[in-house]
Structure formats: structure tokens, C-alpha cells
Structure 1
């Protein structure tokens, strides 16, 4: 190995420049520590002259305060020179404030009666500007709102509040049709309230004296009070007392076997007091009475039919058809089957009388006809039989009849005219009326002259059929009054006519339809009259209670 050192390369002989390195990583901790100790970072050898030669900081002029002062002085000077214009602006600002407060008060419902009410504030605004449209419109709105409050108070029966609000509205709106309408309604309501007190006193007196029915009865008077004041406690209590009295009446009617009257009273009670607590019990009592009476009636009817078939038409005691049918009518007044049964009893008696006439037993014939007349006095067959008896020349004390004298031509002509007039009267529906000119009377008059006149006898006996035809036509034409007359005529001419019950029910239904129609038209008086007709014809029809309730609700 050579001991000679290699000489450095030529590049290494160049001068190397000093390098400070990365200044970002320079450690300044010593300076920070010096600063914390209060030491100056200035080198000790630094010259004080350099410090003295640093530029001095210049002072600024306070321009902003100066500008503000100048503006204030200028504004004050302008305000001093424009005082008149500023004084004109101040009322306008106050007006807007008043209008805003007034609108707020109106929206809150403070209409009048206080300094911060809408009315007072709008009027204060008008004092500043009498022609201000917003203030005028606001007062108009307040007036209409006061009118609305008057109507609401009237509905609540607050008549004092209604009067106060109405007067406010009148003073703002200056009257008008709407104000007058509320004023009239208020006056009517006040008068009605006073009348209610009078009605209550009258109703109490009627109740104390036992007057329940009728327009002056307690029921009607208390009903009028409740119609005007549904929540009137005195009237409600009075109606409860009326209900108790009617319940007692129903019990009395049932004890007297007046089931029809009890049903009518119950119908009235249910119409007046549909929530009366005793209604279920009363209905049960009537239903029980109906079942008992119906069972007894059916027994009488069955026995009457059996006696009639056995030929036991009449006689002493109860063992005959006449007695049984009359007992059935007593148990159920107006029962159509019982009436028909009695009519057949009368027919049987007339048949027996005609047989007695043919046999020359005038005395027996007269007795039979008199008996039949007690059951069916207007029977056409009875009239014909009496004519035969009168013209047969029989005498009560004679044992045999003598032939009747022949008719003169004048009598024959007279009979012919009477028969023709009778036929004409029957076609017009004058069956039993007018007296003397009815078909019934004319046929009888003809038979009075010629008791054996076949045409007169046939016409007289045909009157029931003519009456039925007239009834059908009257019902079709809604002429219920004439139909009612025809039904009554038929029941007189032929009490046992089997068509009579169906005709009665048909006519009763027609009257109920008419009553219901009148209720719809608001004609309560006419509806009540039609209902009464239906009650007489079909007292047990369930529609009677329904129509009666409608009439009472609309009364």
C-alpha cells in the first residue's frame, strides 16, 4: 500500500460559500425566552440614533363628530325655517295611529262602550279628518257588527243586550230596513215574553180546574208556552201534570169498558208527551183490555152465528142471535160483524113478516115488522114489506084479508110518475135525502098507493146496490163527504150488507190520506177535521196515532 496520500480533486480546491440552512426551522426559543424576561431583542450594540430617526405617527382629525354636529345644526336650522310644514305632518301621523288602533279594536270585537273601542277610535279619527274614508267605512262596519250582535242577543232572549246593541247600530247606520226589521222582531219577542207569563197563569188555572182538553185547556196552553220557549221549566212541569191526569183518564175509561175512548186519549197523550214515562204501561193496559174484550166479542159473535143458523133469531133471554150480536156490540162498539149480524136478524124477521102477510096473519106480520124496525128502521126490505101489509087490506083485528080495490087511471099515472122520479133521484145519489124527494121516499109513496107495484118494490130493494155504486164513484172522485153519506145510507138500507165493513175501512183510509195531505200543506184545522172523520170510521187503525202526532208537532 502506498504511503502517499492522494491529492484532493480539483473541484475540492474551490471556495465554499457559507450556508445558513432552512430559516423556517430556525429555533427562536431563545428569543421568546428573552422576550418573556423583558429583555429587548435589540442587540446591545444597536445605535439609539437609529431609533430616534424612525418616522413619527401622524395625528388624525375627528371628522365624523364634526360632520354629525354640522348635520344636527343644519337640520335644526331647516326645522326652524319649516315649522309650518312640520306642524301639518303631526296630525297625519296621529290619524294613522288612531285608524290602526281602531282596526285592531274592531278585529278584537271591542266595538263600543270604552275609550279604546273601535267606535270611539274611529270617531276620534273623524274629528281629525271628517272626510276620511277609512274612518267612515270603519264606523259602517261597527254599525253592522252591532246589528249582528243585536240579532244574536235576540236569539238568546237577552232582550236588554239586544236593545243596547240595536241602539248603537241605529246611531251608526242611521236606521234602514235591516235595523227596523230587528227592532220589530225585538218588540214582538218582548211582547211574546210577556204573553208567556199570561199563558202560564191561564194554564195553571185550567189545570187546577181539571180543564185539560180544548183550546182553553191546560194541555193547549202549556203547549203554546213551550212552542215559544221550549226550555220553559214551568210549562214542562205543567205538561207532566197533564200527562198524569190523562193517564188517570185512560184508567177510568178502561174500567168503564170504553176502550175506544182510552185509545183516543192515549193517542193524544203520546202526541203531546212522546217521552212520557207511563206510556209503555198505558199501552200494555189497553192491549190487555183489547185482548180480553176481543176474546169475549169473538165468543158472542160465534154464538150469534150459530143461533142464526139454528133459526133462533130472537126471543127472550140470551139464547138467540139477536142477544148475542147485541152483546158483541156492547163489548166492541161499532163492530162491523156484529152490525151485519143484526142486519141479518132484521132480514129474517122481514122474511117471516112477508110469510105472515101471504098467510093472512096481519097481526103477526105487523109485530115482526115492528121488531125488525127496531133493528133496521130504514131497511128497504122493511119499507117494501110495510107497503105490502098496508095495501093488502089487512086489519089487526081481522082474521082474513080482503082484496084491494083496483087503481084508477089517475092513481096508476101517479104511481108511474113517482117511480120515474125515484129512479132519477137514485141516479143523482139522492137515496135517502131530501125528505119527500129521495128515491127511498118516492118508492115508498108509490107503494103506498100500489103496494103490489113490482117496479116500485124492485126499485126499493135495489137501492142498496145503487148506494154501493154511488159510494165507489164518490171515493174515486175524492168526494169523501158524499161517500160517507152513501155508507151511512147503506147501513140503514141493509144493515147486514157484507160489503159494508170493507167500505168503511176504505173510506177511513181515504180520510187519513186527506189528513196527512193537509198536514203537509200546513192546513192544521182541516187536517184535524179529516182525522176526526177517520177516527169515527176506523178507530183502531194504527195510522191514526201517526197522523195525530204529525198534527200536534205542526200545530
Structure 2
């Protein structure tokens, strides 16, 4: 029995059904692949977002500094091509490359530029030597040595220059002048003294026996004078003599003993200064500390001791002002200013003096009626509360919590509300300092510290707070310099110095050096 062939309309229906099934499978496959693509795209986008958040500071610094560094390098290349190797105004190749290196210490182009500048300086020295320009050759050689060209190349030019100088007239005359100055005991202090003259002779002839012996005799006498001054406690005179002897011959046989004598004298003066400080003999302590600083400017103990003397004189000025002894208070303020106390502490003491003058005037005038005095006192206390709430503890002058409190004390010194206000202000100023310091608002923290010191000049914790603020100024200044804010960094270094930052500390030296490198191009 034969099977009937399907009708044409049934074939068409089957074909349409097969096409629908095929297309349905295709769309499912496409949808599956599309979902996979979107999942990977979302994962990549999330990863990029997290990387941008994590590295936003380095990326910002790179985008900020990169154009400026490239500009400095380009200026250095142009200056080098023009033969302007170094200039006092900062427009030399060396200064441009050093400025770029200050902004990015790992930039190889800056180091390569400095190396090429050193080689160019050496080449200039050779050309000047050929043209008989001995001074120009000397300048080029010095610049090349500063930029650390290979020692062998620099020595070759130096030897040729020395031969050319020695071959000129006047060598014997120069040696005679040096020996005559030694006989007259004119050892140092001018170009016509024995040691500088012997140094010139030895620059021309390093192994000249008479010059070497003459310099040895002059240095022996100079160091003897230094030891004598140190034994008498005159460290301000002994220290420069030792420094000069070290310049002329750092290996002199008498130098270690002389330096030991100077160190002992400095330690003695420091001990005497500390003893005088404890005995409250401020003038004596200041004299000892100033003598040590004159001999060794970066001595931290002497600097700290002198600042303590300055704080003591500020306290004495406040006491004298409270007794209405204004002329003596002004004298104490002048002494304190000479010790280098911070400008903020000095400003607070001057405000106290002005307030005391106003209080004297108020006492000299007839007392106001009781009702009016009560109204004025309420207004002053309201001003005090408002200024304290806004953080205006010491500034601006005339509109601060401290000014309102002093006016209230002059108006009603025995009033219990005035006493309560005085008790509130000191801890509030301390808390203000700590809060502002945590927020890195260094200027506001300084104002709070000034109020703290004015209210409690003998508080030992204020000195430690001053050092913390100085360190924070240095940190913020360094961070802002990295972003190109040179003016703020300079102000930060000055503020830290006024607060008593140790000039020899690594943070202080690093910020100071970076500022010098960057400002050299200005």
C-alpha cells in the first residue's frame, strides 16, 4: 500500500516550522554570548574604577608635575646649547636641570643634563686655557668639579692651569709677601694675611717646601690662639679660628686637640646657661646661649634655651603689664623679641600690654552706674561666648574671646561670671589646638596655640605643642611644594622656624634644600 505524498501546503508549513526553530536557537545563542560579554565588560569597568580610586594621588601628581618638569628640561637643553652653563639669576643650564631634579629626583634626563653641563664646563675651561684666559679657565674648572666630572679629566685641566699660572711673573713676590705677613703675625682675616697668601702659592706649586712650612707655622699659631680663647670661655672667638684652620688644612696635627678644647668650652657654656635658666637669671642665661649660638649656629640645646629665656621674658612682660609698669614691660618685650620668640607669642604679649593700658584707663575714669556696668558686662560676656564658639580665641585683635575677657576683667574683676569665663578659655584653647592640628589647619592651630600661651605662659605642655605644630608646618609645606605651591612652602618653612623648629633636623633641611633648588630658577 503506497504512502500518499504530502500536500504542498503541508510542506510549506513544515519548512516554516523548521526555520522558526533554527532562528530561535540562533537568538538564544546570541543572547547567551551577549550576556557573557556584558559580564566581562562590567568586571573590567569595576577594576578600572578601583585602580583610579587607589592611585588617584600618584596620577594627579604625575599629570600636575609632568608638563612643568618637561618645560624645565627643555629650558636646560636650550641654555646648554647656547653655552649658558650656570648663572646667578638662575637661567643657567645647571639651575634648570637642578630644578627639574628637585621636582622629580628619579628623572634620568635631569641627571644626564647635569653630566653634559659638567662636560661642557670642562670644555670651556680648556678653550679658556688655550686663549690665555686663566680666570675663565679657573671658573670653568670649578663648575666642572661641582658637577662631578671624572676626576682624571678635571685633574688634567687643573695641572695645565697650575703650570700656566706658575709660569707667570710674581711667584717669588707672592711667597715673600706670605712670609712677611707670618713674621708680622697677620695670620688670617684679609687677602693680604699669611694663610691666604700661602694658599695661593700652594695652588700654583702644591709641593713647594717653603710654602708648606710657612702654612704649617701659621696654622700652629692660629690653633694656639683658638685653644687660648676656648680656655677663657670665649667660644665666639675660638670657633671661627678653628673653622678657618680646617679650611686651610683639615689634617693639621693640632686640629683634633683644638676641636676637643672648643667642644669642652661649648659644653661648659651650655651647662652655665642651663644653671642660670634654673636660677631664673635670664640675662646670664641668654648671654651663655648667645655665645654658643655664635660659635655653633645649629646647636639645638642653645636655641631651645634661648627660646625658654624669651618665653620667660614674655611672662615677665605680662606680669609687669598687669602691675601697670608699662615701660618695663616694653623693655622685656624687646628682649624677648631679640631671642627669636615666635611672632604669635609676641603678638599675644603685646595685646596683653594694650589690654592692661585700657584697664588702667578704665580704673582711672569714674565708675559707671551699676545698671550700665551690668549691661556692659553682659555684652562683653556674650561677645566672649560668641568668639569662643567661632574659634576666635586670640585673633582678630579687638574682636577675640581673649580681648572680651580682658575687658570684662577690667570692668568687673571680682565677678564670678568673669572668673568662670577665664577658667573656660584655657582648656577651650587647648582643645581648639588639638582639633585644628588633627585637621591639618596649621594656621588656625597657631592662633589657638597663641591663645593658650597668652593665657598660661608657664605651661610646659605649650612648648611641646609648639614643636608639634612646627613639624606639621614642615610636613604640609613639603606636600604643597610637591604640588607646585612654592609660596606656601616658603611660608611654611618660615612659620616652622618661628615656632622653634630645629634647623638641623632632616625635615627642615629637606624642605629648605628643595626650596633653594626650585627658587634657583626664579
TM-score, normalising length from structure 1? 0.41
| Structure number with bigger Rg | 1
* Structure possessing the higher relative contact order (Cα contacts under 8 Å, 6 or more residues apart): 2
TM-score, normalising length from structure 2? 0.44
User: If each structure's helix is expressed as a fraction of its own residues, which one has the higher value?
Assistant: 2
